[in-house]
Amino acid sequence: MKVTKFSGEVVIFDKDKLKKSLFKSGANEEDVFRVLNTIEKELYDGIPTKKIYKMAFQLLKKVSNVHAAKYNLRTAIMALGPAGFYFEKFIAKVFEIEGYETQTNLSLNGKCVSHEVDVLLKKNEIVSMVECKFHGSQDAKTDVKVPMYILSRYNDLASQEFTFFNETANIEKCWIVTNNRFTEDAIQFARCSKLELLSWNYPSGNSLKNKIDFHHIYPVTALTTLTLSEKDKLLTQNIITARELLANKDWLNKIGLSQTRIKNVLKETNQLCNILKQ
């Protein structure tokens, strides 16, 4: 059986890959095999992977909103676009939960020219800059030209002193973060140039997805009990993560949700943040 990927490429259907993604959502063995059996009955040669994904999401949602939310994570991060402004804020939140101080959306004068810096970090007296590369397509990859370009910007800034976090300091490290993947050349160049990389699947065991799942720091766009319009309203109020929603529950009432829906949203949010058992 062949399937058609987002890019249009036709490949052999990988049942094991789908199974792994279902287990990663937190679903148990019985539910996973029930979902797989249902989907297999609907398969046809050339079926779009997007359709398979949608079926799996809807079937998981019947089992658990939280399983569906976790399964939908990559799409939820893409919903922080289209420009990636909210993605930058979300990345700052991920670093904050790991003990970093952060600042976002800065304009800094380098030795030669001025630069827009997405996120600035400080931890253990080391200041780092973070450049976020947001992609609106799952098949897009960050190639070697990106770290080459960002390295030149970092070098222009690293030679200067700035006042960050109430102290005068130099930028000592540079991160490149993307919601998709890096090409092998991009990874090789970054390693050689001492640039830090973070992507959906890199580095292995400590990738962006790993960090999100480990810290239970999910974007509000992952919540299945909210509409797209409601998620957008929360984002405009700078409520980027599910954790922040729990700290600003009154906004659910302000954006017009009924008490019943508020109860359902908070239940899913608490479970997603690992506060309540599923």
Query: Tens digit of pLDDT for each residue in 153-211?
Result: 999 999 999 999 989 999 999 999 999 999 999 999 999 999 999 999 999 999 999 99
- Which position has the token pair 């792994």? 20
Nearest C-alpha neighbor of 70 from the set 60, 78, 79: 60
What percentage of the chain has pLDDT greater than the value 70? 99
Q: What is the largest CA-CA distance in the chain?
A: 63
pLDDT, position 137: 84
Instruction: Report DSSP letters for 141-189, one per residue.
Output: EE-THHHHHHHHHHHHHHTS-EEETTEEE-EEEEEEEESSEE-HHHHHH
Give 123-144 pLDDT, tens digit per residue: 999 999 999 999 988 888 999 9
Give 21-60 pLDDT, tens digit per residue: 999 999 999 999 999 999 999 999 999 999 999 999 999 9
Average pLDDT score, the chain: 94
Nearest C-alpha neighbor of 171 from the set 246, 249, 119: 119
Q: What are phi and psi of 119, to 5 degrees?
A: -140, 140
pLDDT, position 277: 54
| Contact (CB, 8 A) for 266 and 246 | yes
**73, containing H or E segment:** helix 73-78
| Contact (CB, 8 A) for 105 and 115 | no
Return the C-alpha torsion angle 136, 138, 144, 147, nearest 10.
Answer: 50
Rounded Cα distance, 156 and 128, in Å = 14
- Which position has the token pair 């790991």? 98
CA 92 to chain centre: 11
| Contact (CB, 8 A) for 36 and 18 | yes
pLDDT, position 276: 58
pTM for this model (two decimals) = 0.92
| Contact (CB, 8 A) for 26 and 67 | yes
**Poorest-pLDDT segment among 8-22, 187-201, 236-250:** 8-22
- Domain locations in the chain as residue ranges: 2-63, 85-210, 219-272
pLDDT, position 147: 98
Pick the CATH number of 85-210 from 2.40.128.110, 2.60.40.10, 2.60.120.260, 3.40.1350.10: 3.40.1350.10
Please name the amino acid found at residue 138.
Q
